[in-house]
């Protein structure tokens, strides 16, 4: 990202007092371990912008220009985390510490720059540092996991969150009334009033996205928000950017989403390494599925491979993820990890609509007021012990108990009301339902029997084929006219027990050759 970045200034009490003398380290080669330890301690005491993130060192930087690198687009003013390399450590340690070395010829010490070997040794101590572990960087007050408000600027040791902002944030009320929460929610509704939500559930889901963006660092996990519309120009990206602006102060980091799982994993891994707080997979044109993205959404920490190296980093996953697309669909396990927001302007050319205000500009101008409103909603729910929605969404219990339940407590429709639509629109579910409806019922069968049925039809003229529907349903498992028995067997094992349309695949013992017997069971 080159010259487009500046080191992010810290505003915490970790700074050394103004005018304080810099520590002195006399470098002696035989005392290298001690020199390294002293240098690290001096940097921590001086409030150097160095943090541990997993087993790497990083520093927060501001991007001064819009960038497009590695499949990720970021707008001017975004904050990202960059690795601290040897040159950066030499620079920081030289600026913070008076390094000296004994000169035998002159019989006195002389000033030197931080020796490179010191920086190299610091990096080699991978994970064995006094630098604080950084979970997230925020530019607005947020909530801690215990529900208290994090509003003091600087690094919060109890959460690993760095609050860095040049704005003057007011104190957040610790005990807001329900009436105050209702007024706060009305302000957030007003911000979203120009969007053509299909129903109340879609508006509630959008409000959930806004609340999640503000408090995502305090949540162990959070679902992905999918914004769908039948045509371009309906406002999908703008809606996502509003949530991102409130949560981060900037529009969302935009991530291209290739179909290949390995490529998507690289792109998602890169934004996790950079610490992007709000990430959008933009303009998805295919049913989105990804095992790695499922892990990122449901696990607090994931292992990410470092590009160009043979090692993995364990990184926190405290980012808000969104996806946008026309007639957006999700597939596989991702379907139960999505909160769907439907927009429909009900005009042929929605991009030609005119509005009296620029809602993204409003979000920027009123960010302090609107973030305060979001925190008021959540704090009121906490202090008044609002009723939680049961059952909570599996793998996202913290999000369900805090964000989802707070909205329902204040009279909004359950933001998960569209979950059934997401599952029903899953092409993998549709495929499995078709297969279940065409496989033989009654007597149990083996994979080999299905293969023989398909082979019998292969040699028949179309008028005499008895299993054409079955062959069509299993087309993805058929190669050169024959069933790929291993792949079909794997499919059966993966889908066994799953109920779709009142049917499911079950194992009913084994034949004499100890081959699995399968059957279609009606529920």
CATH number for the domain spanning 208: value is: 3.40.50.300
DSSP notation for 252-300: PEEE---SSHHHHHHHHHHHHHHT-SEEEE-S--S-B--HHHHHHHH-S
One domain for residues 91 and 46: yes
User: In 346-458, which residue ranges form alpha helices assigned H by DSSP?
Assistant: 359-365, 367-383, 397-399, 405-409, 419-424, 427-438, 447-458
Number of structural domains (the chain) is 3
One domain for residues 418 and 454: no
Say how far apart CA 15 and CA 164 lie, in whole Å.
14
Quick: pLDDT tens for 65-95. 666 766 677 766 778 889 999 999 999 999 9
CB 334 within 8 A of CB 224: yes
One domain for residues 19 and 101: yes
Phi, psi torsion values for 331, nearest 5 degrees: -135, 155
One domain for residues 94 and 207: no
Residue 173 lies in a domain: no
pLDDT at 357: 87
Among 377, 401, 424, which residue terminates a domain? 424
Stretch 59-70: mean pLDDT: 75
Residue 404 lies in a domain: yes
Phi, psi torsion values for 55, nearest 5 degrees: -110, 30
pLDDT at 8: 46
One domain for residues 449 and 365: no
Residue 160 lies in a domain: no
Stretch 180-196: mean pLDDT: 97
One domain for residues 106 and 255: no
pLDDT at 88: 95
Residue 482 lies in a domain: yes
Stretch 202-207: mean pLDDT: 98
One domain for residues 318 and 435: no
pLDDT at 307: 66
Q: At what angle do helices 116-124 and 32-45 cross, to 10 degrees?
A: 80
One domain for residues 467 and 490: yes
Q: What is the pTM of this model?
A: 0.84
Among 397, 424, 451, which residue terminates a domain? 424
Residue 217, CA distances (Å) to 127, 165, 241, 334 in order: 22, 16, 18, 22
One domain for residues 365 and 446: no
Q: Is the pLDDT of residue 7 over 60?
A: no
Domain that holds residue 13: 2-134
Among 104, 134, 164, which residue terminates a domain? 134
One domain for residues 253 and 371: yes
Say how far apart CA 252 and CA 142 lie, in whole Å.
18
Stretch 202-212: mean pLDDT: 98
Categorize the per-residue pLDDT at 308 as very low, low, confident or very high, splitting at 50, 70 and 90: low
Say how far apart CA 141 and CA 367 lie, in whole Å.
11
Residue 343, CA distances (Å) to 30, 260, 326 in order: 67, 28, 10
One domain for residues 414 and 502: no
Which of 191, 227, 215, 207 lies closest to 363 in space, CA to CA? Answer: 191
């Amino acid at each position: 990202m080159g010259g487009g970045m500046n080191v992010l200034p810290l505003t915490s009490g970790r700074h050394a007092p103004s005018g304080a003398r810099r520590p002195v380290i006399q470098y002696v080669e035989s005392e290298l371990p001690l020199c390294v330890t002293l240098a690290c301690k001096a940097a921590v005491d001086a409030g150097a912008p160095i943090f541990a993130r997993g087993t790497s060192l990083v520093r927060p930087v501001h991007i001064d220009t819009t960038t497009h690198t590695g499949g990720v687009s970021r707008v001017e003013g975004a904050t990202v985390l960059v690795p601290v390399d040897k040159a950066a450590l030499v620079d920081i340690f030289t600026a913070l510490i008076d390094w000296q070395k004994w000169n035998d010829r002159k019989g006195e010490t002389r000033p030197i720059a931080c020796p490179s070997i010191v920086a190299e040794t610091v990096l080699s101590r991978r994970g064995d540092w006094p630098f604080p572990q950084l979970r997230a960087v925020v530019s607005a007050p947020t909530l801690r996991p215990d529900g208290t408000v994090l509003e003091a600027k600087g690094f919060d040791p109890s959460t690993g969150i760095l609050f860095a902002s040049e704005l003057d944030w007011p104190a957040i009320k610790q005990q807001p009334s329900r009436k105050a929460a209702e007024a706060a929610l009305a302000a957030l509704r007003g911000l979203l009033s120009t969007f053509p939500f299909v129903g109340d559930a879609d508006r509630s889901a959008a409000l959930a996205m806004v609340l999640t963006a503000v408090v995502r660092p305090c949540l162990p996990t959070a679902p992905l928000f999918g914004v769908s519309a039948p045509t371009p120009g309906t406002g999908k990206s703008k809606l996502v950017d509003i949530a991102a602006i409130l949560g981060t102060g900037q529009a969302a980091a935009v991530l291209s989403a290739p179909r290949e799982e390995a490529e998507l994993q690289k792109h998602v891994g890169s934004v996790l390494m950079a610490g992007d707080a709000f990430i959008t997979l933009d303009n998805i044109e295919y049913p989105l599925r990804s095992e790695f993205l499922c892990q990122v959404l449901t696990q607090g920490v994931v292992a990410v491979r470092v590009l160009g190296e043979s090692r993995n980093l364990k990184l926190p996953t405290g980012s808000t993820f969104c996806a946008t697309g026309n007639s957006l669909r999700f597939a596989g396990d991702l379907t139960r990890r999505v909160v769907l927001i439907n927009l429909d302007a009900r005009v042929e050319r929605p991009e030609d609509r005119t509005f009296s205000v620029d809602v993204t500009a409003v979000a920027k101008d009123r960010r302090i007021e609107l973030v305060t409103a979001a925190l008021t909603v959540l704090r009121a729910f906490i202090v008044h012990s609002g009723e939680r929605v049961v059952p909570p969404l599996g793998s996202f219990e913290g999000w369900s108990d805090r964000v989802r339940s707070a909205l329902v407590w204040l009279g909004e429709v359950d933001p998960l009301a569209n979950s059934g639509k997401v599952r029903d629109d899953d092409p993998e579910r549709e495929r499995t339902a078709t297969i279940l409806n065409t496989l033989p019922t009654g007597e149990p069968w083996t994979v080999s029997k299905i293969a023989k049925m398909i082979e019998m039809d292969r040699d028949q003229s179309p008028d005499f084929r008895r299993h054409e529907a079955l062959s069509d349903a299993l087309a993805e498992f058929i190669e050169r006219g024959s069933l790929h028995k291993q792949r079909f067997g794997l499919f059966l094992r993966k889908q066994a027990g799953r109920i779709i349309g009142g049917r499911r695949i079950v194992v009913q013992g084994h034949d004499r050759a100890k081959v699995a017997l399968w059957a279609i069971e009606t529920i």
